[in-house]
A and B are shown apart, each in its own frame.
Chain A
């Protein structure tokens, strides 16, 4: 039996592919392994470049070593103060800032936690709060780590939601709220 590799392919811009969903081919799960063994799920996801501004929110609110900064945990988050991606640069927890590779890994963890649901949200079918990355820290769903984001008025939710909305495109997109992203990590 030939082994199957599950690969999640990510789109840098959700809006660009929005029209492709309707064609019923772009986002279907391919079970026929047309490329000789790679099984791919194409999903819609918010912008990866903007995530550089959003990543510190996940790093400081979620990525401590006792929470999502652990190898064995879903939504694995790397950061300068927490878990480090194996490296040859000598980076260990507490030494040196989060690297671009770690930010990329964080992006993949965030958008890949629920690839189908992320696709629905970016397609405008469900609200951002339906994603676990918001529902759990907001305690809309049970969360072992408690309320990592306050239920109302927390800049962390504003930051993450603005990033997601930017991926959805008009009319909900109002631009990434960089100020909220900065405020969200103040004091953490």
Chain B
């Protein structure tokens, strides 16, 4: 019987992508104060799960991420505009929600990589200096490495609209989820 089970289970196991599975397993657990939905997992790599082969395949994102206020804090910025231009010149914009999350479904816009990105709000604009080669989760590169580790050489920190020295407006007070991560 055990042999029969092995024969049945092994092909199933080989279908999963061990790299993606490992990355998903390495994510922190869901925050009970930010239940699954558009406000959850701010600052994390969305498309790890939100892809045709992921556990959130029903929402298949072409690109997604989180806009925070400043480099030194993780406070989500609401109603910021994220503008994409792909290699064919096709453009698309999306607004951040009150925790700073934004996501574009493939049915809305499926860009041809590389893509160029700009974020803006109330006349303030920041343009990404390089292009996005192929990564659909902004947080794969835009994460916050622990100081003193090798990761500081491969991360540009989280996306931030304002500079360290700016005085950004306060976060949304009506958001159902606290937009202040730290």
A contact face: mostly helix, strand, loop, or mixed: loop
B166 at interface by CB-CB < 8 Å: no
- For B134, what are the chain A residues with a Cβ–Cβ distance below 8 Å? 66-67, 144-146
Q: How many residues of B contact A (CB 8 A)?
A: 18
A14 at interface by CB-CB < 8 Å: no
Give A157 to B156 CA distance when docked, in angstroms. Answer: 29
- For B152, what are the chain A residues with a Cβ–Cβ distance below 8 Å? 92
B120 at interface by CB-CB < 8 Å: no
Check B153–A64 contact: CB distance below 8 A.
no
Check B153–A188 contact: CB distance below 8 A.
no
Whether A81 touches B129, Cβ cut-off 8 Å, given contacts A65-B141, A67-B134, is: yes
Give A67 to B141 CA distance when docked, in angstroms. Answer: 10
A interface footprint on B132-161 (CB within 8 Å = 1, 0 otherwise): 111100001100000000101111100000
Give A131 to B153 CA distance when docked, in angstroms. Answer: 29
Whether A83 touches B153, Cβ cut-off 8 Å, given contacts A66-B140, A66-B141, A145-B113, is: yes
A115 at interface by CB-CB < 8 Å: no
Give A93 to B153 CA distance when docked, in angstroms. Answer: 6
Which residues of A in the span 66-82 have a Cβ within 8 Å of any Cβ on B? 66-67, 69-71, 81-82
Give A60 to B132 CA distance when docked, in angstroms. Answer: 10
Check B114–A93 contact: CB distance below 8 A.
no
Check A66–B135 contact: CB distance below 8 A.
yes
Whether A86 touches B153, Cβ cut-off 8 Å, given contacts A64-B133, A66-B133, is: yes
A84 at interface by CB-CB < 8 Å: yes
Whether A93 touches B140, Cβ cut-off 8 Å, given contacts A145-B134, A146-B134, is: no
B130 at interface by CB-CB < 8 Å: yes
Check B133–A145 contact: CB distance below 8 A.
yes
Check B114–A64 contact: CB distance below 8 A.
yes
- For B150, what are the chain A residues with a Cβ–Cβ distance below 8 Å? 71, 86
- For A66, what are the chain B residues with a Cβ–Cβ distance below 8 Å? 132-135, 140-141
A37 at interface by CB-CB < 8 Å: no
B131 at interface by CB-CB < 8 Å: yes
Q: Kindly provide the distance from the CB of B44 to the nearest chain A CB, expressed in whole angstroms.
A: 16
Which residues of B in the span 152-180 have a Cβ within 8 Å of any Cβ on A? 152-156
On A, residues with C-beta under 8 Å from B are 60, 62, 64-67, 69-71, 81-87, 91-94, 144-146, 148, 188
A-B contact pairs, 27 of them (CB 8 A): A60-B131, A62-B133, A64-B114, A64-B130, A64-B131, A64-B132, A64-B133, A64-B141, A65-B135, A65-B141, A66-B133, A66-B134, A66-B141, A67-B133, A71-B150, A82-B130, A83-B153, A83-B154, A84-B154, A91-B153, A92-B153, A92-B155, A93-B153, A94-B156, A145-B113, A145-B133, A146-B134
Q: 6 closest Cβ contacts across the A-B interface?
A: A66-B135, A67-B133, A65-B141, A64-B133, A84-B153, A93-B156
